[in-house]
Amino acid sequence: MRIILVILGCCLLISCSKDPVLADNKIIEITVPTGFPPIPPAQNNAFTEARIDLGKKLFFEKLLSENNSISCGSCHFQELAFSDPAQVSTGVDGRVGFRNAQPLFNLAYKTLFFRDGGVKNLRLSSLNPISNHDEMNSDIVRVIQRLKNSGKYTNDFQRAYQDTISALSILNALECFQRTLISGNSKYDQWKRGETTLSSSEELGRSLFFSSRTNCAQCHGGFNFSFEEIRANGLFETYADSGRQRITTLPEDRGKFVVPSLRNISVTGPYMHNGSITTLDEIINLYDAGGANFENKDSLILPLNLSNNEKQALIDFLKSLTDDSFLNNPAFKQ
């Protein structure tokens, strides 16, 4: 009986309910960069101007946190591809977490969220920062009450979702805005479109990156420079953060993390799950040495014997993945 009810519930959520786009509310087409697949649709949450606007307001709204002290934008800075320059972010009351804040772009394509891939849905992922003790330390019921009390948002929710201020519409609006954060206009993308040339060092780095000598693209491949697999790159011999094991409890998942995209990498430091590496130099040296001696280390991580020239070339290539038009896009500014 329970199973039948669950199936029925899912059916109602997925297929039977409608997306109430208002007649005067324009559906927006988001331009997909060359070489990117079409943006997968969000369930009952088509892009409209009103939704994107509301989502952006909520992204920068401190009422989402305890003491009205921080917003999503306090840890995710646009000019840094929505990452945080701090090793670990500071939440309410100066509390510090244990992971480095991820950049936010091309999330519309992602299927695994957070470093350990513990959440599989962008809409639901906003519940984590809102309720996390070390981040916003609030909860969605309190957020609804505060937004109502502020009196600022009634019309916005009505316009965007024909709804009062509700949990679903808050999550939908945050999802809608975050889905517009598409980045695919780096120098490398422009080169692929035949609009510019790479320097000889960038070109050498590119060929090394995609070679079977380095294996970089085996993990960081595809249009978003990550196949979103969960692997261990051998950063440490022993991991303080168990990574994927936090979700599965399996010993073989210890030290494994979702492979990060390398787009905009020049501005998203410090690096790795705990922000323990500050420069691309150190990262290349780590891979060149074949990583640390760690039991779950991936078999693709091997000593590379790169020359200094080749190391610099890899760094120059990684720097060519920066998309300045994304970092400065006025549409994403507060």
Residues touching ligand HEC, count (CB under 6 A): 49
Query: What is the b/e burial string over 255-289, where b = at least 16 CB atoms within 10 angstroms of the residue's CB?
Result: bbbbbbbbbbbbbbbbbbbbbbbeebeebbebbbe
Q: Which is nearer to ligand HEC, 55 or 189 (CB)?
A: 55
Closest by alpha carbon to 206, among 327, 324, 37, 319? 319
- Peptide linkage before 270 cis (omega within 30 of 0): yes
Cα torsion at 140, 146, 152, 158 (round to 10°)? 40
233 scored as a contact of ligand HEC (CB under 6 A): yes
Q: Which is nearer to ligand HEC, 51 or 220 (CB)?
A: 220
Stretches 28-36, 93-101, 141-149, 325-333: which one binds ligand HEC (CB under 6 A)?
Answer: 93-101
Q: Which residues pair with 305 in a beta bridge?
A: none
* DSSP states of 226-251: ----EE-----SS-SS-BTHHHH--G
262 scored as a contact of ligand HEC (CB under 6 A): yes
Min. distance of Cβ 90 from ligand HEC in angstroms? 6
Q: Which is nearer to ligand HEC, 191 or 227 (CB)?
A: 227
- List the beta strands (DSSP E) in the chain: 230-231, 257-258
266 scored as a contact of ligand HEC (CB under 6 A): no
185 scored as a contact of ligand HEC (CB under 6 A): no
174 scored as a contact of ligand HEC (CB under 6 A): yes
As given in the structure block, the two tokens for residue 285 are: 């040296």
Interacting residues with ligand HEC (CB under 6 A): 64, 70, 72, 74-76, 89, 91, 97, 99, 101-102, 104, 107, 110, 113-115, 125-126, 129-130, 135-136, 174, 214-216, 218-220, 231, 233, 235, 257, 259-260, 262, 265, 268, 271-273, 283, 287, 298, 300-301, 314
